[in-house]
């Protein structure tokens, strides 16, 4: 049997291994008390019985029927046949009429990864800036439509490995996969993820439209060392922050797949952690789908974490912990040996296969296709005009206006003779990672040319790259950019970072613009003080000098295939931007904690950061002005089982129709433990016509997670009696109205 390299520390004994495989000791090794074994469960948690738990959009009777069918199918298989079904791509078994299947059909992070025609929507980090739940669900309804269209066309699997990405690496802008998540805030992440899953899996009580996958569970928030690192996570940070998005995906989104991550947490590989994959995920939260490993996280239990000495023990530990599908081949190769050595039982294998087979049944694989409501999805939906328009609308709503001194924007094309379009991201339609290959790609330069019209663009637009994203300065390219800026009435400089700078497996070290882009901006500004910065990036970038000197800054994250059209419409005023930042934009790396520090209270996110950011969480301007007034709370106190209603009036006092994202925050005053400076509890994107007012109302329930804190001594969330500050504003730093409630414990 193949041996893994031994760990340099104390090896795991066979006795310890078997104890870990059995369950509760996995939690004890984290340093946390095993209160679940003592019968305690967190506030709002369920006991975990199949009869009492919602199985996720699918009616209970249909879920139970599918589970029984799955059990009958598994019962017909021999042990070798069962083991063959643990991969992400599994062979057919003709003896029992079982077809081949792909649990890893593809990724659909912001559109299916497939050759065109396929629609590529904005990156999740961009979509998060829309603060629009309904828009996100519409986007992923379109994505799942296109998955079904390709399923009919070429057999594309309906089981996905994404979306949503909800591990909270967005807590730090250096994370290499920051473009994959929706926000640094757990509530905003949860809301976007829930509606992503609803769009992907549908609302039919009998069938899943596709299978979505919540990943990477959990604390996989660094990339360079993700396969060997162990995240040290304190209990409060775990329960109050890192686990919230996953809990929402299960309890409210009803996601059917969760992916275990590469890393370890508190010394235990997540793919080997029974507390995470069984006690928490299934027992407390009521997850009824299947767990898939990241590729090949099962092998990493032995290979990189050295948690056990060989692959058979790694395979057994993963299955006993609750992992059902192996992206990779460790389970298929070594489960036979593990059963032979009595490290895992055949019954445990059966339980895993029943869960994964249930997913196949709920997709309608074994039923007549006319019985499956999604089978009538037209192939013509692929990158259809309607989906292109939706991608364009999603891009529009995701654009942020960072600065607009003296109403520099929008531009009036009637009064511009020459426009310089400059920069390394101007003539590229960057899609970001996990992207398909759409047929219609519109770069910012192409969008501006199309907006102006071919003949006008030929006379009006001067284009110069100036520099590359990461390369060195070349005098001739700089000179061409400066010349264009001097000849133009306005210079639009497109800058940012791309996957050369940060990507899966590669974190950033710096947060400023890479290469010589800062120098390019300064040279263009010296040639033309009417220089506008347009950010087109896959991550936040520190543009401190630009914020201090340039009159206007707009843009944001990679905005999908229609980004050029959307940016042109915003720059020239056909669309009034309403996006708000979903992360804090910091001024310098020195403002951040150590990259591997998982304690939120050490200055992470807007909730605990005491410095002055470049742009605060929730920031975003408009071409109009909004006034907030008349805050009303439905009562003075809030007690168990109750809820408060927060209402206010918002008036568009400017001359343009526009969207405002109204944000509600709370702060628990006088707590005996350190609490967030403020924490988001609700939001609404509202469209208000010029001169009109809208009344906006929000529910604030007693069981809102931000009103409680995790007490590790009680192993539960605790609400303290006292005062809660209720704050409503246009950003976390722009609070317009304040009120107070008294919490009753």
Tokens 């993963």, located at residue: 318
Q: Which CATH architecture has domain 14-36+57-376?
A: Alpha-Beta Barrel (3.20)
Helices 311-321, 346-362: crossing angle, 10 deg rounding: 60
By the 8 A CB rule, do 95 and 366 touch?
Answer: no
Output the pLDDT for position 45. 34
pLDDT of residue 47: 29
Q: Calculate the CA 403 to chain-centre distance.
A: 26
Domain 626-743 superfamily per CATH: Immunoglobulins (2.60.40.10)
Single out the residue of 667, 665, 626 nearest to residue 649, CA to CA: 626
CB atoms within 10 A of CB 420: 29
- pLDDT for the residue 57: 80
The pLDDT of residue 732: 98
Determine contact, residues 577/401, Cβ cutoff 8 Å.
Answer: yes
Mean pLDDT, 10 residues at a time, the chain of 745 residues: 43 44 41 36 33 60 97 98 97 98 96 97 98 98 98 97 97 98 98 98 97 97 97 98 98 97 98 98 96 97 97 98 96 98 98 98 97 97 98 98 98 96 98 96 98 94 98 97 98 98 96 98 98 98 98 97 98 98 98 97 98 98 98 97 98 98 97 97 98 98 97 95 98 98 96
Task: Mention the CATH class of domain 394-608.
Answer: alpha beta
pLDDT reported for residue 52: 36
| Of residues 532, 542, 448, 464, the one with CA closest to residue 497 | 542
* Cis amide bond preceding 117, omega within 30: yes
Take residue 472 and report the two structure tokens written for it: 């060195």
pTM for this predicted structure: 0.94
Give exposure, 626-660, as e/b (b: 16+ Cβ within 10 Å). Answer: bebeebebeeeebeeeebbebebebbbebeeebbb
Gap between the Cα atoms of 624 and 692, Å rounded: 12
- Residues designated catalytic: 294
Q: What are phi and psi of 301, to 5 degrees?
A: -55, -35
The conformation of residue 28, written as its DSSP 8-state character, comes to H
The pLDDT, as a whole number, for residue 283 is 97
Rounded distance between C-alpha atoms, residue 150 and residue 153, angstroms = 5
Residue closest to 630 by CA, chosen among 609, 655, 605, 647: 647
**All structural domains of the chain with their residue ranges:** 14-36+57-376, 394-608, 626-743
């Amino acid at each position: 049997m193949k041996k893994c390299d031994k760990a340099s520390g104390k090896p795991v004994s066979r006795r310890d291994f078997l104890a870990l495989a059995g369950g509760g000791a996995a939690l004890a090794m984290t340093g946390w008390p095993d209160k679940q074994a003592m019968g305690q469960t967190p506030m709002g948690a369920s006991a975990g019985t199949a009869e009492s738990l919602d199985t996720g959009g699918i009616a209970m009777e249909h879920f139970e029927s599918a589970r029984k069918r799955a059990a009958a199918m598994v019962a017909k298989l021999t042990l070798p046949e069962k083991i063959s079904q643990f991969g992400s791509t599994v062979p057919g078994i003709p003896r029992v009429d079982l077809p081949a299947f792909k649990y890893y059909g593809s990724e659909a992070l912001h559109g299916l990864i497939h050759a065109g025609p396929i629609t590529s929507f904005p990156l999740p980090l961009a979509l998060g800036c829309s603060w629009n739940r309904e828009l996100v669900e519409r986007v992923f309804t379109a994505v799942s439509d296109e998955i079904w269209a390709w399923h009919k066309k070429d057999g594309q699997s309906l089981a996905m490995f994404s979306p949503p990405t909800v591990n909270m690496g967005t807590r730090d802008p250096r994370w290499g996969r920051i473009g994959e998540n929706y926000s640094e805030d757990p509530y905003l992440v949860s809301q976007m993820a829930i509606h992503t899953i609803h769009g992907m899996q549908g609302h039919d009580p009998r069938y899943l439209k596709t299978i979505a996958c919540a990943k990477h569970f959990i604390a996989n928030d660094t990339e360079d060392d993700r396969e060997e690192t162990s995240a040290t996570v304190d209990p409060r940070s775990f329960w109050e922050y890192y686990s919230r998005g996953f809990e929402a995906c299960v309890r409210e989104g009803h996601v059917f797949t969760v992916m275990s991550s590469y890393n370890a947490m508190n010394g235990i590989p997540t793919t080997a952690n029974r507390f995470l994959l069984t006690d928490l995920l299934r027992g407390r939260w009521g997850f009824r789908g299947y767990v898939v490993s990241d590729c090949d996280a099962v092998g990493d239990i032995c290979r990189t974490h050295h948690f056990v000495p060989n692959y058979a023990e790694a395979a057994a530990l993963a299955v006993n912990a609750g992992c059902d599908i192996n992206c990779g081949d460790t389970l298929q190769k070594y489960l036979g040996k593990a059963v032979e050595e009595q490290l895992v039982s055949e019954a445990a294998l059966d339980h895993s296969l029943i869960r994964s087979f249930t997913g196949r049944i709920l997709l309608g694989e074994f039923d007549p296709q006319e019985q499956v409501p999604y089978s009538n999805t037209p192939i013509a939906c692929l990158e259809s005009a309607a989906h292109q328009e939706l991608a364009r609308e999603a891009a529009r709503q995701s654009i942020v206006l960072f600065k607009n001194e003296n109403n520099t924007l929008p531009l009036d094309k009637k009064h511009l003779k020459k426009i310089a379009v400059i920069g390394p991201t101007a003539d590229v339609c960057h899609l970001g990672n996990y992207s398909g290959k759409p047929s219609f790609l519109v770069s910012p330069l192409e969008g501006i040319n199309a907006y102006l019209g071919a003949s006008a663009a030929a006379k009006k637009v001067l284009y110069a790259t100036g520099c590359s994203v990461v390369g060195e300065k070349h005098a001739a390219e700089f000179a061409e950019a400066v010349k264009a800026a001097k000849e133009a009435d306005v210079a639009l400089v497109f800058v940012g970072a791309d996957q050369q700078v940060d990507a899966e497996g590669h974190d950033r070290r710096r947060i400023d613009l890479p290469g010589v882009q800062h120098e390019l901006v300064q040279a263009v500004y010296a040639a033309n003080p009417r220089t506008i910065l347009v950010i087109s990036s896959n991550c936040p970038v520190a543009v401190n000098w630009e914020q201090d000197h340039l009159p206007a800054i707009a843009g944001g994250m990679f905005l999908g295939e229609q980004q050029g059209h959307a940016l042109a419409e915003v720059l020239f005023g056909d669309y009034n931007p309403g996006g708000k930042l979903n992360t804090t934009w910091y001024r310098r790396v020195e403002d951040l904690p150590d990259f591997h520090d998982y304690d939120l209270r050490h200055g992470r996110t807007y909730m605990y950061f005491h410095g002055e950011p470049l742009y605060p969480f929730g920031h975003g301007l408009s071409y109009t002005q909004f006034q907030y007034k008349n805050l009303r709370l439905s009562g003075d106190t809030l007690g168990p089982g109750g809820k408060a209603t927060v209402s206010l009036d918002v008036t568009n006092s400017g001359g343009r129709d526009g969207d405002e994202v109204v944000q509600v925050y709370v702060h628990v005053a006088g707590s005996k433990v350190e609490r967030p400076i403020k924490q988001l509890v609700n939001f609404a994107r509202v469209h208000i016509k010029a001169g009109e007012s809208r009344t906006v109302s929000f529910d604030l329930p007693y069981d809102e997670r931000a009103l409680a804190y995790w007490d590790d001594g009680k192993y539960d969330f605790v609400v303290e009696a006292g005062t809660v500050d209720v704050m409503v504003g246009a950003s976390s730093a722009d609070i317009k109205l304040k009120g107070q409630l008294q919490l009753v414990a």
